């Protein structure tokens, strides 16, 4: 859909109303991905991972986006998302730049975010952004569509410079949701995948953007039911639970973790997001003991059920779990999965899936 709205009018729209404008030209919200898209992304991530195992395959993959330049504009703290995107870009041969501090950018001279994004677009072919303002990513998307600069994709499409939301405000972190889905699907492969399974989500469900996005994506998996284990003040908000109700996803609040463990096909832990608290209340709040996963809880967990966490973690996960010899402890593998999911996402966004086919064929030959 052509962008016929002013910036102000576009930002007034709900996420759902923005979707037809976005199409597949940017990655702003988890709900852009329906089940076929999710399945395709998981399959592409698996293929990239396999291809990179041989030096010849890695070499061919690094040619696919070789003369493109990416900007990683991360002005909120981040280690893993930043590194994950960087590594994914390097796998595909993208040139990379980063801006991590507003003080070293022209915003310190009074430039607006929209003008800064317009400037980025003059130089780069992709903007990945993490920002504290939840309107930053849609504003960047609006700017890219209104700017004259276009890039030509290998499949012939002429498109605005793509924007990827790598986390904005408390609302959305769509690529985290994608990698969570990928990790769940991979971990549950031997038991038939995600469909029909029970997920236990625990911790700060109110402000954890990853757990909010993931819950919404579960509407794409028939028969999934959700257990929300959280202190009352951090329980999942009605905007999500209402949407789950409308989609027919069953869910239930729990006031402790242990009750849910024997029922769960997968457990997804999160930390208290106290960086959103007012400064004077901040200071690494200790996790409520009823929502801490301790090493002995592994005994309550079903044999096929993976233990996930978007990380960084604090005391809601017993450190004794970190290097235990148990395949169910999956949160470190989850990080690496994220890199491969982002490789797949970049290929899809740049219309380069055919180049992947060709790289595979050449490597097999």
By CB under 8 A, residue 97 contacts its own copies:
yes
67 lines the binding site for its own copies (CB under 8 A): yes
Considering only residues 24, 39, 78, 153, which one is a binding residue for its own copies as defined by CB under 8 A?
78
Angle between helices 353-364 and 35-51 (to 10 degrees): 30
Nearest to 138 by CA among 9, 16, 10: 10
From 1, 16, 34, 123, residue interacting with its own copies (rule: CB under 8 A) = 123
Q: Most distant CA pair in the chain: distance in Å?
A: 62
Helix then strand count (H, E) for the chain reads 12, 11
Phi-psi region of 294 (alpha: psi -120 to 50; beta: other; left: phi over 0): beta
Please, which residues bridge with residue 317 across strands? 293
Give SS3 for 250: strand
Q: How far is the CB of 140 from its own copies (least distance, A)?
A: 14
Q: Rounded to the nearest whole angstrom, what is the least distance from the CB of residue 2 to its own copies in the complex? A: 13
Measured in residues, the chain has a length of: 365
What character string, x for contact with its own copies (CB under 8 A) and - otherwise, covers 246-275?
A: -------------------------x---x
Would you say 93 and 63 are in contact if contact means Cβ atoms under 8 Å apart? yes
Query: How many Å from the N-terminal Cα to the C-terminal Cα in the chain?
Result: 42
Taking CB under 8 A as the criterion, the residue among 23, 77, 223, 262 binding its own copies is 77
Q: Is 251 helix (H, G, I), strand (E, B) or coil?
A: strand
**Please, are residues 37 and 45 in contact by the beta-carbon 8 Å criterion?**
no
Q: Is residue 107 a contact point for its own copies (CB under 8 A)?
A: yes
Q: According to the binding rule CB under 8 A, does residue 66 interact with its own copies?
A: yes
Among 16, 34, 115, 245, binds its own copies (CB under 8 A): 115
Which parts of 309-348 interact with its own copies (CB under 8 A)?
311-314, 322-323, 332-333, 335-336, 339
Contact string 134-173 vs its own copies (x = CB under 8 A): ------------xxxx------------------------
Contact 115, 139 (CB under 8 A): no
Distance from C-alpha of 292 to C-alpha of 288, rounded to nearest angstrom: 7
Q: Which of the ranges 9-17, 72-80, 196-204, 239-247 carries the binding residues for its own copies, by CB under 8 A? A: 72-80
Please report whether residue 84 would count as binding its own copies according to CB under 8 A.
Answer: yes
Question: In angstroms, what is the minimal distance from the CB of 87 to its own copies?
Answer: 5
- Regarding 58 and contact with its own copies (CB under 8 A), the answer is yes
Instruction: Return d(Cα 142, Cα 8) in angstroms, integer.
Output: 10
Site membership for its own copies, residue 295 (CB under 8 A): no
- Measured in degrees and rounded to the nearest 5, phi and psi for residue 105 equal -105, 175
Contact 145, 136 (CB under 8 A): no
Shortest CB 323 distance to its own copies, Å: 4
Site residues, its own copies (CB under 8 A):
52, 55, 58-59, 62, 66-67, 69, 71, 74, 77-80, 83-84, 86-87, 90, 95, 97, 99-101, 103-111, 115-116, 118-120, 122-124, 146-149, 271, 275, 284, 311-314, 322-323, 332-333, 335-336, 339
């Amino acid at each position: 859909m052509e962008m016929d709205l002013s910036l102000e009018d576009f930002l007034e729209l709900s996420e759902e109303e923005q979707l037809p404008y976005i199409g597949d030209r940017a990655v702003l919200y988890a709900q852009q991905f329906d089940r076929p898209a999710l399945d395709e992304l998981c399959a592409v991530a698996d293929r990239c991972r396999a291809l990179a195992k041989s030096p010849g395959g890695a070499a061919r993959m690094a040619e696919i986006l070789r003369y493109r330049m990416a900007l990683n504009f991360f002005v909120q703290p981040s280690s893993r998302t930043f590194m994950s995107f960087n590594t994914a870009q390097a796998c595909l041969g993208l040139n990379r730049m980063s801006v991590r501090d507003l003080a070293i950018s022209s915003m310190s001279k009074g430039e607006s975010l929209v003008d800064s994004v317009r400037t980025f677009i003059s130089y780069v072919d992709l903007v990945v952004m993490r920002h504290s303002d939840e309107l930053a990513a849609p504003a960047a998307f609006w700017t890219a569509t209104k700017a004259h600069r276009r890039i030509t994709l290998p499949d012939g499409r002429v498109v605005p410079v793509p924007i990827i939301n790598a986390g904005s405000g408390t609302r959305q972190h769509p690529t985290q949701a994608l990698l969570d889905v990928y990790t769940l699907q991979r971990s549950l492969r031997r038991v038939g995948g995600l469909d029909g399974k029970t997920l236990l989500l625990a911790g700060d469900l109110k402000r954890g953007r990853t757990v909010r996005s993931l819950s919404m994506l579960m509407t794409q998996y028939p028969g999934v039911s959700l257990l929300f284990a959280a202190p009352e003040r951090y329980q999942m908000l009605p905007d999500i639970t209402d949407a789950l109700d409308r989609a027919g996803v069953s869910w239930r609040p729990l006031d402790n973790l242990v009750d849910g463990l024997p029922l769960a096909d997968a457990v997804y832990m999160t930390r208290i997001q106290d960086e959103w608290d007012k400064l004077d209340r901040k200071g690494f709040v200790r996790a409520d003991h009823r929502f801490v996963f301790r090493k002995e809880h592994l005994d309550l967990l079903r044999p096929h059920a993976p233990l996930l966490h978007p990380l960084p973690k604090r005391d809601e996960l017993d450190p004794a779990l970190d290097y235990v010899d148990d395949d169910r402890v999956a949160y470190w593998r989850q990080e690496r999965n994220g890199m491969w999911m982002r490789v797949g996402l970049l290929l899809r966004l740049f219309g380069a899936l055919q180049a992947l086919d060709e790289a595979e064929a050449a490597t097999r030959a």
